[in-house]
Amino acid sequence: MTPQPAARATRQKRQQLIVDHVLAQGDASVAELTELTGVSLMTVHRDIAELADRGILRKYHGGVSAQPSTVFESSSDFRLHAHSGEKNALARAALDLVSPGMSLMLDDSTTALALAKLLPQVGPLTVVTNYRLITEELRAVDDIRLIGVGGEYSQTHDSWIGLSALEMIKSFSVDLTLVSTSALTGTMTYHQEQEMVAIKRAMREAGSVSVLLMDHSKVGRSALHRLDPVRSFDHVVLTAPVDEEVLAEMRKLTDVRVVTETGA
C-alpha cells in the first residue's frame, strides 16, 4: 500500500532527523535513534533499512554510520525538509536582484524553489529550469513565461539531467542564473556528483550574471568534484553565521552578502 502524503512527510522528516544525527555524530545505535525519534524500535529498523538500501547510511549490527559521501544531499525529498527558514531568507535576498522583464535560469535546488515561489511578485519574467517542482509552482502564473529543460528524468533530484538537458541549457543566454550546490570553501564550490557539476556549470555560464545561494551548513565543506571557483560567480548570498576568515577570503574574489532568517 502506498503511504498517504501526511504519513510520507512524517517519515521523511523522521529519516532526515536520523540522517542529520548520524552525520553529526559519525554513527549511532538503534536504541539511540529510537529515543531520538520517539517511535518504535521496529519503525527505526525499517527507516534504517530504507536509508541503507538507498546508500545514505551504512548499517551494521546494532547501529548505523554515515557513508563517506552521502547521497541524501542529492535527494529532493530530503532537501525539501532541510534548512527551510534559511532557504526562504536566501530567496528573499535573491529577489532583490530580479527585475521585471528579466530572463532567469533556476537549477534544481530547493533554494531556487523558494525563490520561484516569490517570483509572481515581480511581474513579467521568463524562467528556464530543469526542476519539476519549479515548473509545478510557476506553470499557472500568467506573467511568467516558463521554459522547461528536458532530458533524462532523475527521480533522486526530481529534475531533468543528462546530455540532452546539458545541450539545451547551453543553447540559452539569460540575464540571471541562480544556483546552489553541496559545498563551499573560501575559494571553491563543490558537488558530490560529476553529472550535476556539468549541469550547474553550464547554467552558470548561460547567465550574464550568476548568483550562488548557500545556507551556512554548506560553508567550509568540500565534496568529491570541484564545480567552479568562487570568483566565477558575480554574487554569493549566504546565511549567517559564516566563519570570518572564510568570509574575508571570499570577499577578495566576489560580492558576498550575508543574510539572516529575519533579514539582511
CATH number of the domain within which 149 lies: 3.40.50.1360
| Predicted local confidence at residue 52, as pLDDT | 81
Looking at 52, 72, 92, the residue that finishes a domain is 72
* Angstrom distance (rounded) from CA 119 to CA 168: 23
Q: How far from the centroid of its chain's Cα atoms is residue 166's Cα? A: 19
| Predicted local confidence at residue 5, as pLDDT | 64
* Angstrom distance (rounded) from CA 79 to CA 68: 19
Residues 83 and 68 occupy one common structural domain: no
What are the cell numbers at 223? 565534496
* Angstrom distance (rounded) from CA 197 to CA 230: 14
Residue 116 placed within a domain: yes
What are the cell numbers at 186? 573560501
Residues in the chain predicted with pLDDT less than 70, given as ranges, are 1-5, 54-55, 66-83, 262-264
CB < 8 Å & 24+ apart, contacts of 147-151: none
DSSP state of 177: E
Looking at 22, 49, 72, the residue that finishes a domain is 72
| Predicted local confidence at residue 1, as pLDDT | 46
What are the cell numbers at 78? 530530503
Structural domain boundaries, residue 152: 77-259
Q: How many CB atoms lie within 10 A of CB 230?
A: 21
Q: Is 22 exposed, middle or buried (0-12, 13-18, 19+ CB in 10 A)?
A: buried
What are the helix and strand counts (H, E) for the chain?
A: 10, 15
